[in-house]
Amino acid sequence: MNKFEAVIFDMDGVLIDSEPLWKIAMEEVFHSVGCMITKKDFQNTVGLRIDEVVRYWYNERGWKELTPQDVEHKIVQRMVELINENAHPLPGVMETLKYLSQKGYKIGLATSSYTVLIETVLHALKVESFFQCTHSAEDEVYGKPHPAVYLSVANELNTEPPQCLVIEDSLNGIISAKAARMQVVCIPEKSHHPEPKLVIADHMFEDMSEMLETIKRYD
């Protein structure tokens, strides 16, 4: 593992097991407007911003009455409720954040989720103090797999992209980070079907505890 100055975390599926919650929220809201997609269908939109997900299914299936923006808002509000009810850090997250902080690494967060969800997750997990920078792709023209969100975080952390280590769980996220010229760890999200293309990541670990042990060996 190459030396790095900053660690940039994705959020969904990396800090918190929120992918199942997204599936619940999306299935409930899409069904409420007559768009009868299933949890399996969401494999098609992993790693996209929620506005991109809604637009995708609006173009594919369509619905009446509510606008795509209305549906997007309903999904986000339902996610806030579900996160507050079910917030638990994934294995190794707390130990990794504490170790990186103690060692003086810069720590950032780059996610496709909206700012309100970043605030909800970090507050629910009580980890706000670990992050010097958090950034949502909602503030970028393009979401992942475009590298913009990662480049913005590197800039805010005052760190050159090749000196950043990214922790991701999805193919779109890995592509985003590699396009930003960053070193990428993949910890595959467990609720999706296996994605063989994840091997494009520089490193693959079962969970963050395993990753942390490797970081300690190279420190």
Q: What is the pLDDT of residues 140-172, one digit of tens each?
A: 999 899 999 999 999 999 999 999 999 999 999
Mean pLDDT of 8-34: 93
Name the 3-class secondary structure at 24.
Answer: helix
DSSP notation for 135-189: EEGGGSSS-TTSSHHHHHHHHHTT--GGGEEEEE-SHHHHHHHHHTT-EEEE---
CA 76 to chain centroid, in Å, comes to 15
Mean pLDDT of the chain: 94
Query: Which one from 10, 17, 51, 169 is the annotated catalytic residue?
Result: 10
Active site residue 10: yes
Give the pairing of strands 203-204 and 133-136.
Answer: unpaired
pLDDT average, residue stretch 214-218 = 93
Q: Which region holds residue 62: left if phi is over 0, alpha if psi is between -120 and 50, else beta? A: left
CATH of 19-86, one of 3.40.50.2300, 3.40.50.300, 1.10.150.240, 3.40.50.720: 1.10.150.240
The residues with which 12 forms a beta bridge, in sequence order, are 16
Mean pLDDT of 1-18: 94
Predicted local distance difference test score (pLDDT) of residue 119: 97
Assigned CATH topology for domain 6-17+88-218: Rossmann fold (3.40.50)
Confidence of residue 134 (pLDDT cuts 50, 70, 90): very high
How high is the pLDDT of residue 153? 98
- Tell me, what's the pLDDT at 116? 96
Domain ranges in the chain are 6-17+88-218, 19-86
**pLDDT at site 173:** 94
Assign 204 to helix, strand or coil.
strand
3-state SS record for 88-132: CECCCHHHHHHHHHHCCCEEEEEECCCHHHHHHHHHHHCCHHHCC
Helix (H, G, I), strand (E, B) or coil at 203: strand
Largest alpha-carbon pair distance within the chain?
57
Active site residue 12: yes
**pLDDT single digits (tens) 26-68:** 999 999 999 999 878 888 887 788 999 999 999 999 998 899 9
Average pLDDT over residues 106-127: 96
Amino acid 152: pLDDT: 98
Give the residue-averaged pLDDT of 98-119: 96
More confident residue, 120 or 143: 120
Q: Which of 12, 17, 51, 169 is catalytic?
A: 12
